[in-house]
Structure 1
Amino acid sequence: MHELTTNHNKKSWKVWWNLLRPHTLTAAFIPVFIGTAHAGFDAIHIPLFLTMLLACLLIQAATNMFNEYFDYKRGLDNEKSIGIGGAIVREGVQPKTVLYLAYAFFGIALLLGVYICANSSWWLAAVGLICMAAGYFYTGGPVPIAYTPFGEIVAGFFMGLVIISISYFIQTGTVTNDIMLMSLPTSLLIGAILLANNIRDLDNDKVNGRKTLAILVGKNNAIGVLASMFIISYGWTIVLIVTGLTEIWTLLVFISAPKAIQAVKGFIGKSEPIEMMPAMKCTAQTNTFFGFLFSIGLLIGYFL
């Protein structure tokens, strides 16, 4: 009996963990790290950093839950769907439970936002609400952003430029042109995660009436766009160094380049979604490793 209970608890834990879609959470915490690192180690307000980090993780997780709920309601997901949490279609969790949990995560993020605003600026309340609205309407509402060719742009803008800028602002009280220019690689790599997802789901999305960028340009061209996003991200890092906006230590990001190459190669010649999962994983890992290495490069530059 004890063994059965233990196995059930492990399964239950895994269901809720998968619902968060942990492989996507890199898009939430990497921008916070970069914006905070650029503020300089001596200037970092640890409670604000941790609060911002948790709020972004909650918003990203809630966005994933809205995705799970609305895609189910529209009939896009079934028990054979790849890349979803599967709590509803495979594990029997009630759809309303997923929806209410997403709202609860948003609620907690709002409370954390009050603390952030009280210690920085109340103007951030408006920015935060817009970010949350983008998360909801990514798959919610009458015309979900995810069903259009603008999903990658919206995700990259809010999770890259906006989150990096906010993370920098709450530490320094200002937003500079430098921080916005520095956000470009991360914005592109977050968009790349969405593009990789849409390349994998291209056939199913087309059947269900979506008009994603991958569908618009075709699979082969979409892979080319993905490769271009990687190339620009690494190339822009060199531009940042040459123009003096970052130190030479940010060249550490090139350690992550093999993952980007592996991601592109992983899509070429593949037709089944399950075959493209490793390429998707490599795309997310590229964002993670690139972001960590970029942040470390910034911090080393401040120390030396």
Structure 2
Amino acid sequence: MQPNLQHTSKPAVESNRGFQVWWQMTRPHTLTASFVPVLLGTILSLEHGNIHIGLFIAMLIASLLIQAATNMFNEYYDFKRGLDNEHSIGIGGTIVRDGIKPKTVMKLALSLYGLALLLGVYICMNSSWWLALVGLICMAVGYLYTGGPLPIAYTPFGELFSGFFMGMLIILITFFIQTGTVTATSIQISIPILVLVGAINFSNNIRDLEGDKENGRKTLAILAGKKKAVTLLAFMFTFSYLWVLGLIITNGAPIWAVIVLLSAPKAIQAIKVFKAGISPIQMAPAMKATAQTNTFFGFLLAIGIFIGHIVS
């Protein structure tokens, strides 16, 4: 069923919540999926010399802009395909609930991409122009995640694409612009972040499983079914912690990295809520806990690596 276009004429944005509406449209709980990899990649580069603060800030802002724009593309195309309504769970559905015109959302998303491109030019000027190609591919994937004739979000590969491009690749790009190289250690450290960023996407798909199924999506959560999907999510969490412990044992990470275990309660909370929840609104806190797991895990891993660098 197509959305009622009359919703777009509501003046809610101007008269009710103002800036809060625009802020929520960026889906701020997902933005740490960009911030954490940039921080981690930068901390990893300390072993190779001093940090270029300008490149760190440019990479951080560019990553956040691309993530926010991707979320807005998601908002736009979910509306166009009739997936959002006034009762949508979460902070999606701003167009139908708050009266923002779809064209405005698309223009804003493209503007954020434009700003990211300008920052990309600065980054390339101070590192390598090969990154221009990598950056353009990342931006294309961000758009095609929900745009285009066959959106990635409608396939079982959404977790893989989001984890690789918004997790691993951001770490490696950030590390490269500071050091001019990519090492085995930087790749190994990025793997659990790849998994956890993918887990954020997976948790969203578990929450929206029934609605996505009705709208013809073929996500991994739908193919697995809720029970197996939650089990797979638990495995993703477990793998991430065991991977870091394995790196510590093999001297691929400092012993201080063990503090990532402090984030485990959030992962446990996510699994418990998903197991107990039936409706999307009951499972929404589990999605939030999954995003927090990635945030806390990434921050703690960065702190552990930083401490290891200081005391070595």
**Shorter-chain TM band:** over 0.9
Secondary structure of the corresponding residue to residue 94 of structure 2: coil
Determine the C-alpha separation between the residues in 1 that align with 2:138 and 2:210.
Answer: 29
Would you say the 8 A contact 1:21–1:61 is kept in 2? yes
Aligned to 2:248: 241
Would you say the 8 A contact 2:79–2:93 is kept in 1? no
Secondary structure of the corresponding residue to residue 245 of structure 1: coil
Q: Alpha-carbon deviation of 1:17?
A: 0.6
Q: Where does structure 1 lack aligned partners over 5 or more consecutive residues?
A: 1-6
Q: Alpha-carbon deviation of 1:83?
A: 2.0
Would you say the 8 A contact 1:68–1:84 is kept in 2? no
Determine the C-alpha separation between the residues in 2 that align with 1:241 and 1:282.
Answer: 26
- Which of 146, 151, 163 is equivalent to 1:144? 151
Q: Which runs of 4+ in 1 moved over 3 A?
A: 7-10
Aligned to 1:4: none
Aligned to 1:19: 25
Q: Alpha-carbon deviation of 1:161?
A: 1.3
> What is the RMSD computed on CA atoms of the aligned residues?
1.2
Cα distance change of structure 1 residues 10 and 120 upon mapping to structure 2, 3 Å threshold: farther
Cα distance change of structure 1 residues 137 and 245 upon mapping to structure 2, 3 Å threshold: same
Aligned to 1:30: 36
Determine the C-alpha separation between the residues in 2 that align with 1:10 and 1:292.
Answer: 35
In the superposition, the TM-score normalised over structure 1's length comes to 0.96
Aligned to 1:257: 264
Q: Aligned pair 1:219/2:206, yes or no?
A: no
CA offsets, 1:210-261, max 9 Å, x none? 0000000100000001000000000000111111111000001000000000
Determine the C-alpha separation between the residues in 2 that align with 1:128 and 1:9.
Answer: 38
In the superposition, the TM-score normalised over structure 2's length comes to 0.94
Q: Where does structure 2 lack aligned partners over 5 or more consecutive residues?
A: 1-12
Determine the C-alpha separation between the residues in 2 that align with 1:209 and 1:85.
Answer: 19
Q: Alpha-carbon deviation of 1:182?
A: 0.8
Q: Which residue identity lines up with residue 107 of structure 2 in the other structure?
A: Y
Would you say the 8 A contact 1:199–1:222 is kept in 2? yes
Secondary structure of the corresponding residue to residue 186 of structure 2: helix
Q: Which residue identity lines up with residue 246 of structure 1 in the other structure?
A: A
Cα distance change of structure 1 residues 10 and 72 upon mapping to structure 2, 3 Å threshold: closer
How many equivalent residue pairs?
Answer: 298
Aligned to 1:166: 173
Q: Aligned pair 1:135/2:142, yes or no?
A: yes
Q: Which residue identity lines up with residue 239 of structure 2 in the other structure?
A: I
Q: Aligned pair 1:266/2:288, yes or no?
A: no
- Which of 284, 300, 303 is equivalent to 1:277? 284
Q: Alpha-carbon deviation of 1:177?
A: 1.4
Aligned to 2:193: 186
Determine the C-alpha separation between the residues in 2 that align with 1:183 and 1:266.
Answer: 27
Determine the C-alpha separation between the residues in 2 that align with 1:279 and 1:161.
Answer: 23
Q: Alpha-carbon deviation of 1:20?
A: 0.5
Aligned to 2:3: none
Determine the C-alpha separation between the residues in 1 that align with 2:242 and 2:15.
Answer: 47
Q: Which residue identity lines up with residue 119 of structure 2 in the other structure?
A: L
Q: Aligned pair 1:46/2:33, yes or no?
A: no
Secondary structure of the corresponding residue to residue 40 of structure 1: helix
Secondary structure of the corresponding residue to residue 302 of structure 1: helix
Q: Alpha-carbon deviation of 1:85?
A: 3.4
Would you say the 8 A contact 2:247–2:253 is kept in 1? yes
Determine the C-alpha separation between the residues in 2 that align with 1:10 and 1:295.
Answer: 40
Q: Aligned pair 1:154/2:161, yes or no?
A: yes
Determine the C-alpha separation between the residues in 1 that align with 2:14 and 2:188.
Answer: 49
Determine the C-alpha separation between the residues in 2 that align with 1:251 and 1:188.
Answer: 18
Q: Aligned pair 1:118/2:125, yes or no?
A: yes
Aligned to 2:81: 74
Secondary structure of the corresponding residue to residue 234 of structure 1: helix
Determine the C-alpha separation between the residues in 1 that align with 2:156 and 2:168.
Answer: 19
Q: Which moved more, 1:134-143 or 1:175-184?
A: 175-184
Cα distance change of structure 1 residues 260 and 114 upon mapping to structure 2, 3 Å threshold: same
